[in-house]
């Protein structure tokens, strides 16, 4: 299977703050899997901290929206986040499935949707 985006839609009463405890593992895994891990460990800690603060306040974090092969986006439209590749690929599927396993292992109820970008997000 190939996809351009993999979406993690939070189920029920789950909210952004429910992602906070597992977010360091999610972001680190995303960056490792996509070969975008910063060389400086302090930069990674900064990315984690900035996102963590917003998640703990139940706000929309930045995610990882840098120029690169893949991005992690938290849209304004609904309680979800997604990974998006520059092209349809099996890498998007692999990374999405890996993050989904982390969320499941930590009790974050969600559904995975594929290629569910709105025209605004495209």
Residue 120 lies in a domain: no
Residue 52 lies in a domain: yes
Number of folded domains that form the chain = 1
Residue 37 lies in a domain: yes
In this structure, how many other beta carbons lie within 10 angstroms of the beta carbon of residue 43? 11
Q: Contact 7/100 with Cβ under 8 angstroms?
A: no
Give the pLDDT of residue 118: 61
Tokens of 114: 């594929």
pLDDT in tens, the chain (122 residues): 899 999 999 998 999 999 999 999 999 999 999 999 999 999 999 999 999 999 999 999 999 988 888 999 999 888 999 999 988 889 999 999 999 999 999 999 999 999 998 644 55
Q: In the Cβ-directed half-sphere of 25, how many Cα atoms lie within 13 Å?
A: 13
Please, what sign has the CA dihedral across residues 5, 121, 87, 39? negative
Q: Contact 6/114 with Cβ under 8 angstroms?
A: yes
- What pTM was estimated for this model as a whole? 0.91
Residue 107 lies in a domain: yes
Give the pLDDT of residue 120: 44
Residue 90 lies in a domain: yes
Residue 119 lies in a domain: no
Residue 25 lies in a domain: yes
Pairwise CA distance, residues 16 & 59, whole Å: 7
Tokens of 37: 């891990």
**CA dihedral of residues 95, 3, 111, 83 (deg, nearest 10):** 50
Give the pLDDT of residue 117: 86
Give the pLDDT of residue 26: 97
């Amino acid at each position: 299977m190939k996809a351009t985006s993999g979406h993690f839609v939070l189920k029920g009463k789950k909210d952004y703050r429910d992602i906070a405890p597992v977010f360091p593992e999610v972001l680190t895994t995303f960056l490792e899997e996509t070969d975008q891990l910063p060389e400086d460990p302090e930069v990674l800690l900064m990315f984690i901290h900035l996102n963590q603060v917003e998640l703990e306040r139940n706000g929309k974090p930045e995610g990882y929206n840098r120029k690169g092969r893949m991005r992690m986006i938290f849209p304004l439209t609904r309680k979800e986040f997604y990974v998006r590749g520059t092209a349809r690929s099996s890498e998007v599927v692999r990374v999405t499935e890996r993050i989904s396993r982390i969320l499941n292992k930590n009790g974050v109820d969600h559904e995975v949707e594929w290629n569910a970008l709105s025209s605004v997000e495209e």
